[in-house]
A = this chain, B = another copy of it.
Amino acid sequence: MPDSNVINIAVVGCGYWGPNILRNLAAQKSTNINWICDLQIARAELIATNYSSAKVTNNIGDLLADSSLDAVVIATPVSSHYSIARKFLLAGKHVLVEKPMCTSVEECDELIEIASQKNVVLMVDHTFIYTGGVRKMKDMVAAGELGDIYYFDSVRVNLGLFQHDVNVLWDLAPHDLSIMDYVLQRKPTGVSAHGACHLAGSKIENIAYLTLLFEDDTIAHFHVNWLAPAKIRRILIGGSKKMLLFDDLSPDEKIKVYDKGLVLDNKTDSYQVLSGYRIGDIHVPKLDTREALSLEMEHFVDCIRTNKHPESDGDSGRRVVATLEAAQKSLARNGELIPL
């Protein structure tokens, strides 16, 4: 697609996230928002007042029928991702779909296959991997600055809105699973999950704990919780050389790198220590503070123009869904370890 051509993009789904996507899409060069679609037409019309070029509909058929449409961003409830994305991919449109990508690995596989056949971009909205903080963590791990990775411990808790269609696992954990997938660039071999439902009569877990095992001794753990009094968004990464604390709520010090670790010691003191530890400086790297969603939309448009594979591609979406699917199974089986 020549760089000079305008890319026509539609947004399907105008709930909480859709307007943010629209704002960042509209700010990209040579893009045109030509459709805004929502089942509640009034909602679509309200949002569309800010985008004069956009037509409004509650019927995705109108979009599928529009041959000038190049790409679509799907920000609907999870359960509809697969069926909507499938239609647009089959129609040869580039697709960016909200996280989690689908409700099963099987659905993911089909979308990946269709996108490949149609040679269109299939991207998943793993927004966090476009933040300066997560990119810095990935770079540090890739450069070996932390040494071998011992553990990845993530906590994402707050007093959140209960979703009616997905539990806290499918709502919050995709963020952290996609971050881990991107930072470690490794695949877990099994997952174990526990959770509980505290809303009377609800079958929807509002708290969950996931443990991920790997081929070696690396261990990853996730705490997601909709019912916590204080907001905590924190990742600890322990490595053989250095350790890292990521606090997403800190305005200036999101990442702290600790020059700390174990020191093997041959002496055996029968009272206490098998080994000692080393304590050095702490470093707080400056991060890229540009808005992640803007960088992500830029990347989506760039992938469309240059026929590039996105960083958060269908495979990464599939890996996250595979873990969620297995975790859900483990949840139903009292934490049984489910292989991945």
Q: Which residues of A contact B (CB under 8 A)?
A: 15-16, 150-151, 153, 155, 157, 159, 161-164, 190, 192, 194-200, 202, 204, 207, 209, 211, 213, 217-219, 221, 223, 225, 227-231, 236, 238, 240, 243-245, 249, 251-253, 256, 258-260, 262, 264, 268, 270-277, 279-286, 334-337
Contacts and interface: CB of A to CB of B under 8 A. Distances in A.
Given A192-B194, A273-B164, A334-B192, A229 B243 contact: yes
Nearest to A285: B281
B218 A196 contact: yes
A159 B260 contact: yes
A161 B273 contact: yes
A150 to B, nearest CB: 4
Contacts of A251: 231, 249
| 8 shortest interchain CB distances as A-B pairs | A229-B258, A229-B243, A282-B284, A164-B274, A196-B219, A162-B274, A334-B337, A194-B211
Number of copies: 4
Contact of A236 (B194, B229, B284): B229
Contacts of A336: 335-337
A150 B228 contact: no
B229 A150 contact: no
A281 B279 contact: no
A251 to B, nearest CB: 8
Nearest to A164: B274
Contacts of A157: 236
